Structure 1
């Protein structure tokens, strides 16, 4: 190796962008054991003086994912937990069941609220936790050049990045195996790799302003809407630290009154937008005006070594508050897969499932957002076939309710593929059982001995390992099958491999003083009781038959088999497809 080569920095992964998506991706990789082989850079200085603004809301599924990474508790400590909503018509009269009303009905999760915490505070938490894992955000450091040598072997340093120190102006070379562009809507990584960014930007402009306010509006510490005839469906969002965000359409007609759009203009328009209520700003933290549009990258993964995540691969309005949530889904879907490939315990082909799983869900979001953003500006959706005189506020309520489980993230699912595989588990239970590719519900359980309450998500943290959950049912009916299954696991050469990234849990539909006596065999992994059968019911498992459910590291269901000896071969086959051992 020549002297110049020695001066080149080598990392497995270079992450570009120090916002929430980049930080959470880096945090996961560091947590999963790669702290010495990753770097994360950010073009702009990051400090406690950062502007507030930007994203504010995490929906239940995002909170669940962050909870399984050990990040959500700190966010919850500082957030405004929003469970209440309100909608007012143009006369200030409360209208039931419109706007953000779906937030009051977010079920099947411990995180049944909107976690409202401004991006500034979220980033501070993520940066601190990342440092605790041994990685610091490098800022201001800008990516100025990317070169991919596609002839370099798959496990080699295919990418050469030139980065520029914003303080000294000096440039240096970084060689990496993988590059992650989490560098926003104007992504340098996306442009450098010539990935098309399909879509358009509309003529519509929206304003967002945060601050501490006084008002005579009856309900203020809520997620609310004011149906303004001049400013569209106005957003009213209670924020952390006693703040409030107001967002509204800024029509071309109203823009004419302002040669320059400054803080005074933002305040004046905010006051107009909430009429007939009064409004006074005691303090303005942040404001912005921006054009609404929807764009999506043609590829989220290119040249087998470059990923795009967050706004770098999809931008849309803030109408349904999906920006940071969609980015969190990207980050969590990608990190465990990349970690396993870096460790050599999964084939590189696993990385292609990032795009095949995330891209369809982003397309679905973009389609919703097109309708929601038009309705919020008092325009009916493009291609609307209903009453041409319909009230956009009323239609908006219907659309947001229809999209509610997707918006909250709880119904986001993936098609069958190499890691979402239909197994031998068949259920006749009502409701229908959860299936491979769907979210694994967070169910209540009890710890042995103390009978302390716990939750499945707490006992299946995201540590880049699969979790095999044995729902062993009522032992009176299932003991024979459980013994056969356990014996087959004991003699399996695959499951005797300690390097396999797999953990076990056993959940009997019964409780008692001794797990061994309840089951009649030594349990597989930790035991948690389901005495009220609610966990079995939620997963569609008959307590007389049991089942084996495999959870992916990110909490989605991988596969499910019947509880019998033959299921072990089935599980071996599944892991043989998605892991290397």
Structure 2
């Protein structure tokens, strides 16, 4: 018998890792039209019997990003929506303004709460939604080798990946243009590409345990902290489906008690950690003991074709519950950029902005995390210059509050670069509420005719398109400028090109029976009324002058221009730098 010829599969993108970051990356690519040319592999078998545990919390900005992808509603159906927090001192007395208190002040968003849903349930939703596009998670399938032929031109099949099926042992060769390593802290992709992973792992050990419990702790369906003299700043998190998570420092002193750390030990330590409150486990779903490390990959994008995302390029403690959030931010920054390049709508140079935008924010997180993780183990931060006898619990409250808008994700911003460009728009208020590189705030708007309330984020879903949002201010004041701009748009080959990934919205600061009559000209794109003028105020738009904002597919502001005919030239320059326009 002759030998069987092995087939080679050709793909645009291979995603390695079937956790939330890999699934969201693959979901975006499938949603944006690449379902037939992508694959996602995971070396561990995935089923409805998956372990519990791992990540649990999505902060507001992560929920917004998933909302604009059409995924957040399903998460909200199952989640525990946490808006309340509590902190107890070592005697069980409530103390104000400490621990997770910042969660009660996450405003300026519809998703003004911690969305608590264990990773197991989140992944089930993401896998199901991915299958709707005909893309299934291939598991158990392991990446066993990866190489890059740098003589192949950019956007060619530069990458050769060999995978092995964990059930059958069959190996497959995949040639692909791009590969995304979302394969966790021990990333095979990162190691195979020899990308240095800078940082350190501490000797500190932490325990997390989930299950069904009974307790006399008064406010037990919250995000709570118990300031234990023996177990550090103890995490108490109400979970989905009535469960609870308890997390604490497992000090060297406590470790000496156990020859083996098993479920019974995890339960015993959890009971001790929440004293003076009583705790009884009716059922243990999951527990783990782990070391805290803060590491960052030296590169998130290498060889012009391989990306690292999530824990594959940054690891930190779960102290501030940021792991999955940071990974989702990676995925949502990368998804639309990769799609535009694959479709030939943007030059390959757009991909370098992924590392340029994500790396500084990851470094900022790591710096906060170093302090938070030490304070949670009752140690003052390294290099602490304050009172050497300060209470770490008090300092932790200050640090958590200081980091609050970054932790919630609402203040995460990107530097000015080729896709975040300062334009001619000048705000009527100082400091400017929204600038290029900052998140575009969600604001309430009203639909014409029905006057139904809608939200800007609902009307600017992430479809890998950019949105030009024209705030017209009060039409009687801006009519001439709007007509001039409208006329110039009609003459612009760029802005009137239907093939480009650009959509329009027009937002007047008044409502009327007809948008055409209200504006005195045909509106650009869909019209939504800002009759209460809250949207104009939040974006800092003068009602007498109006303004134009470009929102990126991921919801950050790309540029902002004054409402005038000359803005068309400004927008053309912006889009020519971002998109492939002749």
Aligned to 2:204: 204
Aligned to 1:248: 248
Aligned to 1:132: 132
For residue 375 of structure 1, give the secondary structure of its aligned residue in structure 2.
Answer: helix
Task: Give the distance between the partners of 1:102 and 1:155, measured in 2 at CA.
Answer: 45
- Superposed CA deviations along residues 345-378 of structure 1, whole A, max 9, x for unmatched, are 1000000000000000000000000000000000
Cα distance, 1:126 vs structure 2: 0.1
- Superposed CA deviations along residues 181-200 of structure 1, whole A, max 9, x for unmatched, are 00000000000000000001
Aligned to 2:227: 227
Cα distance, 1:204 vs structure 2: 0.2
Task: Give the distance between the partners of 1:327 and 1:383, measured in 2 at CA.
Answer: 29
**Which residues of structure 2 form unaligned runs of 5+?**
none
- Superposed CA deviations along residues 265-324 of structure 1, whole A, max 9, x for unmatched, are 000000000000000000000000000110000000000000000000000000000000
Instruction: Work out whether residues 18 and 41 of structure 1, in 8 Å CA contact, stay in contact via their aligned partners in 2.
Output: yes
Task: Give the distance between the partners of 1:580 and 1:251, measured in 2 at CA.
Answer: 56
Aligned to 2:75: 75
Cα distance, 1:495 vs structure 2: 1.8
Aligned to 1:165: 165
Cα distance, 1:153 vs structure 2: 1.1
Aligned to 1:65: 65
Aligned to 2:29: 29
Aligned to 2:49: 49
Task: Give the distance between the partners of 2:155 and 2:68, measured in 1 at CA.
Answer: 29
Cα distance, 1:53 vs structure 2: 0.3
- Superposed CA deviations along residues 380-432 of structure 1, whole A, max 9, x for unmatched, are 00000000000000000000000000000000000000000000001131452
Correspondence 1:113-512 to 2 at 5 A: 113-430=113-430, 432-512=432-512
Aligned to 2:579: 579
Q: TM-score, normalised by structure 2?
A: 0.99
Task: Give the distance between the partners of 1:361 and 1:432, measured in 2 at CA.
Answer: 21
For residue 124 of structure 1, give the secondary structure of its aligned residue in structure 2.
Answer: helix
Task: Give the distance between the partners of 1:519 and 1:439, measured in 2 at CA.
Answer: 28
For residue 399 of structure 1, give the secondary structure of its aligned residue in structure 2.
Answer: helix
Cα distance, 1:433 vs structure 2: 2.9
Task: Give the distance between the partners of 2:487 and 2:340, measured in 1 at CA.
Answer: 28
For residue 505 of structure 2, give the secondary structure of its aligned residue in structure 1.
Answer: strand
Task: Give the distance between the partners of 2:73 and 2:5, measured in 1 at CA.
Answer: 44
Instruction: Work out whether residues 433 and 541 of structure 1, in 8 Å CA contact, stay in contact via their aligned partners in 2.
Output: no
For residue 563 of structure 1, give the secondary structure of its aligned residue in structure 2.
Answer: coil
Instruction: Work out whether residues 346 and 580 of structure 1, in 8 Å CA contact, stay in contact via their aligned partners in 2.
Output: yes
For residue 137 of structure 2, give the secondary structure of its aligned residue in structure 1.
Answer: coil
Task: Give the distance between the partners of 1:25 and 1:48, measured in 2 at CA.
Answer: 21
Instruction: Work out whether residues 199 and 296 of structure 1, in 8 Å CA contact, stay in contact via their aligned partners in 2.
Output: yes
Q: TM-score, normalised by structure 1?
A: 0.99
Task: Give the distance between the partners of 1:162 and 1:432, measured in 2 at CA.
Answer: 51
- Superposed CA deviations along residues 119-148 of structure 1, whole A, max 9, x for unmatched, are 000000000000001100000000000010
Cα distance, 1:5 vs structure 2: 8.8
Aligned to 1:94: 94
- Larger mean CA deviation between 430-439 and 165-174 belongs to 430-439
- Superposed CA deviations along residues 427-464 of structure 1, whole A, max 9, x for unmatched, are 13145230000000000100000000000000000000
Aligned to 1:16: 16
Alignment RMSD (CA, Å): 0.9
Task: Give the distance between the partners of 1:395 and 1:217, measured in 2 at CA.
Answer: 24
Instruction: Work out whether residues 431 and 540 of structure 1, in 8 Å CA contact, stay in contact via their aligned partners in 2.
Output: no
Task: Give the distance between the partners of 1:301 and 1:468, measured in 2 at CA.
Answer: 29
For residue 538 of structure 1, give the secondary structure of its aligned residue in structure 2.
Answer: helix
**Which residues of structure 1 form unaligned runs of 5+?**
none
Cα distance, 1:496 vs structure 2: 2.3
Task: Give the distance between the partners of 1:332 and 1:240, measured in 2 at CA.
Answer: 25
Cα distance, 1:4 vs structure 2: 9.2
- Superposed CA deviations along residues 445-502 of structure 1, whole A, max 9, x for unmatched, are 0000000000000000000000000000101100000000000001111122111000
Task: Give the distance between the partners of 1:308 and 1:45, measured in 2 at CA.
Answer: 22
Cα distance, 1:6 vs structure 2: 7.7
Instruction: Work out whether residues 503 and 525 of structure 1, in 8 Å CA contact, stay in contact via their aligned partners in 2.
Output: yes
Task: Give the distance between the partners of 2:405 and 2:102, measured in 1 at CA.
Answer: 9
- Superposed CA deviations along residues 254-274 of structure 1, whole A, max 9, x for unmatched, are 111110000000000000000
Task: Give the distance between the partners of 1:308 and 1:153, measured in 2 at CA.
Answer: 21
Task: Give the distance between the partners of 1:290 and 1:346, measured in 2 at CA.
Answer: 42
For residue 12 of structure 2, give the secondary structure of its aligned residue in structure 1.
Answer: strand
